[in-house]
Amino acid sequence: MTSQMTVHVEDTEAHRIAARIVTPLGKAALVTTASNYDLDHSATPWLPPMLVAGMRKNWSIAFDSPVDSTALRGASAAQEVFLDWYPRRFRRVSVSAEPSDTLSASRGVGCFFSGGVDSFYSAITQSDRITHLIFVHGFDIAAGNEDLAGRALASARDAAAELGKPLIEVKTTLRSAFGDRLSLDWGYDFHGAALAHVGLALSGHLSTVLIPSSNSRWDQVIWGSHPDLDPLWSSGSVTVEHDALDEDRLGKIRRLATDETALQHLRVCWENRDGRFNCGVCVKCIRTKIGLAAAGAQSAALPGPIDLSAVRSSTLTNRDCHHLRNGLAAMAEAGVTDDGVVAAVDVAIRRRHWRRATSYLRRARSISIGLIRRRVS
């Protein structure tokens, strides 16, 4: 029998919304989202993240206030996407809520803006459409890291001003007080629904919200923000769009290499080692530096040469290897020669293969020893 999670939307001031979520584990979480703009106080913004949590934990969901009927229909379709992706990890759940029909007179178009490659690319190439940029504290920067969040916000404010767009500033505990406590996978499962929560909460100001793509249409993987999923979070008031599918990351970097605002304020790092804005030595920083080198550009936010020692010692995933190889190919195609970088990347990739082979042999040895012991006994 499926257990039930209840969602109670609390009364708050205009610029802040809150929900008290009681799980079948008997624990209650108070989640808050605040902004410098008025927010939607209905239950609708809470539907996307609650649906992901419910499906992951096999909990039905009960809202104590109405939810937009378009959003409810979209949530039903979103369940089909998740079940197709994760037939073993996710379960179909029921959503209990009184449907409501909502329409907004808003005509604004917002674009999520972290200051990274994807969001800068959408902000620049969709500038004619976009009326507002949206910066969120509490997603890629932990809710407790106020110093880094302050620097990132200051940079986003400066970039938005240079791009001529008002900046909507949002701070939420959705990840720290709810998603992380339930061990929801941020990248693969939760972050797209969390972005949709913010977009729907801004229905009084925006009729369309752009989520910048993580991958091109030719390089799609299962991910929490995806062209098959993001539009399903739309409501009767807000259309959610997955933006910029026709360009891969290196193509985006080439475009940003021609924009001084992007080069000055680019923020790609999520590790932020030693509290740095961009640490310069994590895999994502290195990949971006290689892309900039291929484009013949340098970023003031990522100063200095590529750290070859950091490259050689990097712990890579399969996708990291893929991106690094593509970056080296782009450098070669552009006639940019750096034998040191090529050799360092080769070392890192060979280390990755060696670790995988060693891990496989250890597992095989463990299985063999187990079989022998069972036979002996």
Closest CA to 10 of 30, 37, 25: 30
What is the pLDDT confidence band of residue 143, given thresholds at 50, 70 and 90? Answer: low
Question: CA of 73: how far to CAs of 13, 44, 90, 94, 286, in Å?
Answer: 29, 12, 19, 12, 42
Q: Report phi then psi at 280, rounded to 5.
A: 85, -10
DSSP, res 87: T
Cα four-point dihedral sign 340, 299, 111, 183: positive
What is the pLDDT confidence band of residue 273, given thresholds at 50, 70 and 90? Answer: confident
The reported pTM is 0.92
Question: CA of 257: how far to CAs of 261, 263, 268, 276, 334, in Å?
Answer: 10, 7, 14, 22, 14
How much of the chain exceeds pLDDT 70, in percent? 93
Cα–Cα distance between 201 and 40 in angstroms, integer?
Answer: 5
What is the pLDDT confidence band of residue 352, given thresholds at 50, 70 and 90? Answer: confident
Q: Report phi then psi at 275, rounded to 5.
A: 75, 15
**Cα 246 to chain centroid, rounded:** 19
Q: Is the pLDDT of residue 358 over 80?
A: no
Cα–Cα distance between 95 and 343 in angstroms, integer?
Answer: 54
Q: Which of 100-114, 138-152, 191-205 has the lowest mean pLDDT?
A: 138-152
What is the pLDDT confidence band of residue 370, given thresholds at 50, 70 and 90? Answer: low
Residue appearing with tokens 């009767």: 236
Residue-level pLDDT at 275:
81
Cα–Cα distance between 48 and 175 in angstroms, integer?
Answer: 13
Mean pLDDT score, 243-257: 96
Q: Is the pLDDT of residue 112 over 90?
A: yes
Residue appearing with tokens 């991910």: 223
Q: Is the pLDDT of residue 1 over 60?
A: no
Return the CA Rg of the chain: 22
Residue appearing with tokens 């190889």: 325
pLDDT in tens, 293-313: 999 999 999 999 999 999 999
Cα–Cα distance between 31 and 11 in angstroms, integer?
Answer: 13
